[in-house]
Copies of this chain bind each other. A is one copy, B any other.
Amino acid sequence: MQRYFIAPEQFAGDSVTVRGDDAHHLTRVMRAKPGDTFIVSDGESREAIVKVRSVGKDEVLADLVEWLTMENEPAVDVWIAQSLPKGDKMELVIQKGTEIGAAGFIPFVSERTVVQLDSKKEGKRIERWQKIAKEAAEQAHRNKVPAVEAPLTWKELLNRANEADSAWICYEKESTQELRIAIQRALDAKAGSASRPKLLLIIGPEGGFTEQEVIAAEAAGCKSVSLGKRILRTETAAMVGLACILYEAGEMGGETTWRQ
């Protein structure tokens, strides 16, 4: 069944109003008619099957059929900090990361980042990234849309590292720190806690991090980790690191192993 994230204020008692791109998609792409059902979510606390009551020019009015439980989100928050990659690879990271289960994305600029930040175009780019996250979250049946933040400088990113319970910087020259042990320790440390583990995975640009950057990250409380012997492209590292963390947390099939 088609799913849409709508703003909380579009819920009104037992009916909802769908507007804008979503209404357009419902009427033009899905060709919705009165009586058709679809799913709406406010991305926070309400998700429901609704039935079309009326189709207007720019909006669709629908009535509640059934409230749904929201249990598709991972029990662990993993944030992806991605040094801006070339071309449209950031879009791939956001689309795939959203499907896999990222809590949010923080683009940043480091020494070897090739992409130039264009402040004029930046607003449009973030908007586009957020749209990609919304559509991927709808497609993946997620209960919330991951956040996509505005790009940070390297310094700003390191200042944020201590907001996470654990922050890991992926470094292809790292050979001693085992990713699995790092993840297990981080999850064990939060077992029984009232709050969800918040983990931050930091991925370098095409040319990787400089040694100085890795030293600075470690001084800021991050742990350097390797993703194995194969050298992954920057956009692959984000997806693979995320999948491994969520797999270890029991989120990639079968029973969830990590619980509060």
Contact = CB atoms under 8 A, between A and B. Distances in A.
B99 A233 contact: yes
A176 B254 CA distance: 6
A17 interface: no
Interface in A98-130: 99-101
Given A100-B236, A244-B244, A247-B247, A253 B231 contact: no
Interface in A229-260: 229-233, 236, 239-240, 243-244, 246-248, 250-255
Contact of A101 (B230, B247, B248): B230
A120 to B, nearest CB: 31
A46 interface: no
Nearest to A141: B231
Given A139-B231, A247-B247, A254 B100 contact: no
Contacts of A240: 100, 239, 243, 252
